[in-house]
Amino acid sequence: MPDTFSAPILPDATLGMLGGGQLGRMFTIAARTMGYRVMVLDPDPASPAGQLADVHLLADYRDPGALQQMASQCAAITTEFENVPAATLDYLAAHRPVKPDAAAVSIAQDRVAEKQWLTRYGFATAPFAIINTAGEIAAACAKIGFPAVLKVSRMGYDGKGQARVSDEAQVRAAFAAMGGEICVLESLLALECELSVVLGRNKAGEIARYPVSENIHESGILTMSIVPARVSGALAEAALETAAAIATRLDYCGVLAVEFFIVGGGQPLVNEIAPRPHNSGHFTLDACLSSQFEMQVRTLCNLPLGATIQHTPAVMVNLLGDVWHDNGQPNWAALLEHPETKLHIYGKQNARPGRKMGHYTCLDASLNKALAQALQIRARLGGEDNHD
C-alpha cells in the first residue's frame, strides 16, 4: 500500500512481531526498553518472545482473527523468521506498514529464488544447479561435480535439510530422503573462512553497517562469531559493499544479514541472506552503540538509523542444548566469574542437542584475549566441575 506512514512511530505505540523465537525475544526487549508495546504472534505457548511481550497471540501464522487483531492494534509489523507465509505478510501489508516487505522475505525463504535473484543481479555465489525432479539429478551432478552439498530449497535452517554428497547415488538417496522437494546442488567449497554483514536500511536508502563478523560453524550450526573479522581491510570492505548493494537492489527496509563464503583469496561469495537480525549479529548487543534489535525497532518506526560503532572487540559463542547434560544447568559459575563476559539466555524450556538456548559474548580491548576467554569458558561450561 502507499506509505502514508513515513512519520516516526513513537513510544508507546504497539509493534507487531511475527514469530516468538529468540530473535523476536531480543527485539521485544529492545522495543520495550524504548517504551514501545509489543504484540507477538506465535503458536507456541512457551515461546521465548511471547513470555516477554505485552500481548502474546497464541495462534497459527495464518489465523484470520489473530491477523486482524495485529492489523488493528499494531502501528507497524516486522518478522523474526523468513518462513512466514506470504499470504500473512500480504494481508498485514494491506493494513499496516510491514518491514521487510513480502518481496524480500519471499526471496530469502526460498534458496532457488534467492540464488536466481543473486545471479540475475551479478552477486557471485558458489556454483549451483537446481533439481526440481529426480530426472534432473544426472545433469545437475554433471554440471557441479563432487564433493557437493544438496540443500532443500525451503524451510532449512541450522544445517537441517542439507546433505554432503560425493557421488550421484548419494544425491539420489538424499533427494529422496528430503521427500523429493525442490533442491539446490551446490559445490562443496574449501572455505578459507565465513563472514557475515548485518546492516540496517531505511526508506530513504540510508544504510548503517555493522563491522564484519567472522563465523565459525560446526555441523552446519554457527558456534562462534569473532568481530571484527580477522581478514584484510579490502576483503572486509568487499563484504560490506556487497551486502549494501544487495540491500539497495532489494530496496530493502529493515535489518538485513548477508552470509559469505571466502575461498582462495577471491571475492566474497554470497551464501544466503536473512531478512532479519542474525545470530552472527548478537555481538552488537554488548559491543556496539546500538544493537541489531534496536536497529530493527528504529527501521520499523522510521527513526534515524542506529549507531553501529563497535566500542570493544567481541567473541560471541552460542550455547547449544548440548551443554545442558541430562537437562542439568551448565557450569554458570565458570562464565559469570568474568565480568567482561555477557550472558544471554532465551527462556527455552527443553535443552535439546543442537538447540540454541542462549549465547555469551566475551569483550576485551584485545580480540585475542576475548577469543582465549571465550574458548576457556567453553571448555569449562560443560566440563567436569559442573555441579548442577
Ligand X SMILES: Nc1ncnc2c1ncn2[C@@H]1O[C@H](COP(=O)(O)OP(=O)(O)OP(=O)(O)O)[C@@H](O)[C@H]1O
Residue 44 Ramachandran class (φ > 0 left, ψ -120 to 50 alpha, else beta):
beta
Which residue, 164 or 311, has its beta carbon nearer to ligand X? 164
Cell of 91: 494481508
Q: Is residue 313 close enough to count as binding ligand X by CB under 6 A?
A: no
In this chain, which stretch among 2-10, 114-122, 187-195, 339-347 interacts with ligand X, using CB under 6 A? 187-195
Closest CB 194 distance from Mg ion, rounded Å: 9
d(CA 150, CA 133): 13
- The 146-175 site mask, x for binding ligand X (CB under 6 A), equals ---x-x----xxxxx-x-------------
Which residue, 215 or 341, has its beta carbon nearer to ligand X? 215
Which residue, 111 or 298, has its beta carbon nearer to ligand X? 111
Using CB distances below 5 to 8 A depending on partner kind, what does residue 114 bind out of Mg ion, ligand X, none?
A: none
Binders of Mg ion among 351-370, rule CB under 5 A? none
Q: Is residue 126 close enough to count as binding ligand X by CB under 6 A?
A: yes
Q: Is residue 275 close enough to count as binding ligand X by CB under 6 A?
A: no
Q: Is residue 79 close enough to count as binding ligand X by CB under 6 A?
A: no
Name the residue with the smallest CB distance to ligand X. 217
Closest CB 259 distance from Mg ion, rounded Å: 5
Closest CB 164 distance from ligand X, rounded Å: 8
In this chain, which stretch among 44-52, 57-65, 90-98, 181-189 interacts with ligand X, using CB under 6 A? 181-189
Half-sphere exposure of 320 (CA within 13 A, CB side): 14
- The 193-212 site mask, x for binding Mg ion (CB under 5 A), equals --------------------
Q: In this chain, which of 42, 101, 186, 214 binds ligand X, going by CB under 6 A? A: 186
| 74 within 8 A of 39, measured Cβ to Cβ | yes
Which residue, 52 or 178, has its beta carbon nearer to ligand X? 178
Closest CB 29 distance from ligand X, rounded Å: 22
Place of cell 563472514: 195
Q: Is residue 181 close enough to count as binding ligand X by CB under 6 A?
A: no
Which residue, 80 or 259, has its beta carbon nearer to Mg ion? 259
User: Measured in Å, how far apart are the chain's first and last C-alpha atoms?
Assistant: 54
Query: 238 by DSSP, 3-state: which?
Result: helix
Q: Is residue 185 close enough to count as binding ligand X by CB under 6 A?
A: no
Which residue, 42 or 186, has its beta carbon nearer to ligand X? 186
Q: Is residue 121 close enough to count as binding ligand X by CB under 6 A?
A: no
Residue 164 Ramachandran class (φ > 0 left, ψ -120 to 50 alpha, else beta):
beta
Half-sphere exposure of 326 (CA within 13 A, CB side): 3
Query: 118 by DSSP, 3-state: which?
Result: helix
Residue 281 Ramachandran class (φ > 0 left, ψ -120 to 50 alpha, else beta):
alpha
As to burial, measured by CB atoms within 10 angstroms (0-12 exposed, 13-18 middle, 19+ buried), residue 99 is buried
Q: Is residue 220 close enough to count as binding ligand X by CB under 6 A?
A: yes
Spatial neighbors of 64 by CB under 8 A, at least 6 apart, are none
Query: Count residues contacting ligand X (CB under 6 A)?
Result: 20
Q: Is residue 277 close enough to count as binding ligand X by CB under 6 A?
A: no
Q: Is residue 188 close enough to count as binding ligand X by CB under 6 A?
A: yes
Q: In this chain, which of 13, 113, 191, 303 binds ligand X, going by CB under 6 A? A: 191
CA angle, residues 175, 177, 183, in degrees to nearest 5:
30
| 190 within 8 A of 263, measured Cβ to Cβ | yes
Q: Is residue 11 close enough to count as binding ligand X by CB under 6 A?
A: no
- The 223-262 site mask, x for binding Mg ion (CB under 5 A), equals ------------------------------------x---
Beta-sheet strands, E only, within 48-169? 55-57, 76-79, 128-131, 148-152, 162-165
As to burial, measured by CB atoms within 10 angstroms (0-12 exposed, 13-18 middle, 19+ buried), residue 387 is exposed
| 321 within 8 A of 352, measured Cβ to Cβ | yes
| 107 within 8 A of 89, measured Cβ to Cβ | no
Query: 364 by DSSP, 3-state: which?
Result: coil
For 334, the enclosing helix (H) or strand (E) is helix 332-336
Q: Is residue 192 close enough to count as binding ligand X by CB under 6 A?
A: no
Interface residues with Mg ion (CB under 5 A) are 259
Interface residues with ligand X (CB under 6 A) are 126, 149, 151, 156-160, 162, 186-189, 191, 194, 217, 220, 259, 271-272
